[in-house]
Amino acid sequence: MERQVNKIKIVTITIILLIIVFAALIFFNILDIDLQQLLGRTEAETTGGRGAASSRIATTVRVTPVSLDTIERSVIINGEILSRNQVTIYPGVSGRLVETRFSVGDRVNRGDVVALVDPSRPGEVFSRNSVVSTVSGTVLNTPFSVGDTVSTQSGIIVIGDLSSLVVETFIPERFVTTITHDMRAVLWFEAIAGETFNAEVAEINPVLDPVSRTLRIRLRFIDPDPRIRAGMFATISLVTERRVEVPVIQRTSVINTYGSWIVFIVDDNNIARRREVTLGITSEDLLEIISGLSIGENVVSAGQNFLSDGDLVRIVD
């Protein structure tokens, strides 16, 4: 009986010791975590928060420096190729067209007889009247056929000088104040794919069309090309405003926030800084910067939609 009691005491003491050891391990483990947290906070405070910043995940961005460049604002319109000197020839009398002597594409000299008109009426016989060309050039159009009745207001033949072509187009009213002589333009044609041609404003109509509210202008080619022909349809990019050596950034860099234009720059510590900017004229790829940025500052041009002020970034090419 005494031996059994001793065994119970030994088991009880062993259990108590194990509980004490287990409790001690838990206590020291908690103490170690608190010390590590305390040391971490102290280090962060001592380094001014650099430890916290270094633990954040960096956002990948692409940057482009603010630079000086030439920027142009353009308006895209359509136009038609015409001969510079295009004249419509009218008969001197009314009557029946009895003969045409030239076809479209033929060369005509000044003074050539291009058609004959018979002014005779029933019961009366008159001599045929000659229609004479007043200019030299190429026949562009013959809208009437032999047998048609024409008057003195009927244009029998259209003659133009194809050695000198112009582009005729019509400018919307909101752009007319920017149009000046010698203003540059770039043209392209569906028939000549992959190439562009340079032209400049040569003629400006002083009066707007009261119906369409547009201004008729004509452009001349700077370097004429024999592949361009009268009657072709052209797409025109007309430069309405041009600035030289001004600060510019990529058009993809800006964000519109509640009516303000925002960009992000990256400082020397790879931290994104939010900037509000004032924009000038815009082109297809560039934006003019009036204020808010300095030359050489690195502006985020890709990835800025995921940024906040003070975020850590990683720059890629």
Vertex 93 angle, CA 92 and 96, to 5°: 125
Give pLDDT, residue 26.
67
Average pLDDT, the chain: 84
Query: From its phi and psi, is residue 8 left (phi > 0), alpha (psi between -120 and 50) or beta?
Result: alpha
Whether the full predicted model's pTM is greater than 0.75, yes or no, is no
Contact of 225 with 241, CB cutoff 8 Å:
no
Give pLDDT, residue 174.
87
Closest CA to 75 of 222, 242, 192, 254: 242
Give pLDDT, residue 305.
86
Tens-place pLDDT, residues 100-149: 999 988 999 999 999 999 999 888 888 899 999 998 888 988 999 999 99
**Token pair in block for residue 149:** 């009745």
Residue 6 φ/ψ, nearest 5 degrees = -65, -40
